[in-house]
Amino acid sequence: MKSRFRLNLMPETIEESLIYCLNSLGCERGDYLVDTPDYHSMLMILSQKLTGANPKCGLLLSGQFGTGKTTFMFALRKLFHLLNSHPNAWTYQEIDSLESLYLRAEDLRFPIVSYEKFLEAASAPILFLDNLGIELDGSKDNLAIELIKNLIRLRYDLRMQTVISTPFDWESIREIYGTQIASIMKDGYSAVEFNWMPFRK
């Protein structure tokens, strides 16, 4: 597996490339990226998870709201979009396609569109599933929870790459989705805890 690559005017390492994509997101928002040792340590951990010798089927990003989970998802998706235009730049965990889909868990609450979204998410080569657990909404809970359980189980069985973010801990995930899904996520995903605020105005 190649963990280094070179594109025109692009960084060489995964960490540097994530910084590039995060800075790009900051510019789009009118924010600036906070450059701290903790921040670089976090990106090093993420880079190692992405390029490890024994890759798992996904990443689980956990942490309180506002700690950068969704921002990192968008940065990683931006990186995959860039790499998709340069297929020889990096071999990533034997994935044939770097095409990706971003989906908020709460989007599966609504019966009219939820099954269509489920099918789209189930077939995406790379899925970014944001806000796991936030789909809980009274009488609509069961539909969203069952769809997400099926989605996680299906993509795990097919070894399809999935990046999930959640503000919940393992015990809460087990209570919401059951022991089987919690075990899949614990054994099949590389977990990274977020505790930094990536941007400032």
Q: DSSP character for 57?
A: S
- Taken in order 25, 10, 38, 100, is the CA torsion positive or negative? positive
Q: Can you give the pTM of this predicted structure? A: 0.79
Q: Which of 165, 76, 169, 156 is nearest to 122 (CA)?
A: 156
What would the pLDDT profile of 114-130 be if each residue is shown by its tens digit? Answer: 888 999 999 999 999 99
Instruction: List the chain domain ranges.
Output: 14-200
Written as one string, the DSSP assignment of 158-181 is TT-EEEEEES--HHHHHHHH-HHH
CB-CB contact of 51 with 14 (8 Å): yes
The position carrying tokens 């790459």 is 161
The helices-and-strands tally (H runs, E runs) of the chain is: 7, 7
Q: Are 126 and 101 in contact (CB under 8 A)?
A: yes
pLDDT in tens, the chain (201 residues): 334 434 444 556 777 777 777 777 777 766 766 667 777 777 777 777 776 666 678 889 998 887 778 888 888 888 888 777 765 655 554 556 778 899 998 888 877 778 889 999 999 999 999 999 877 665 446 888 899 999 999 999 998 989 999 999 889 999 989 999 999 998 889 888 887 666 565
Residues 6 or more apart whose CB falls under 8 angstroms from that of 30 comprise 201
Write out pLDDT tens, residues 22-41: 777 777 766 766 667 777 77
CATH T-level fold of 14-200: Rossmann fold (3.40.50)
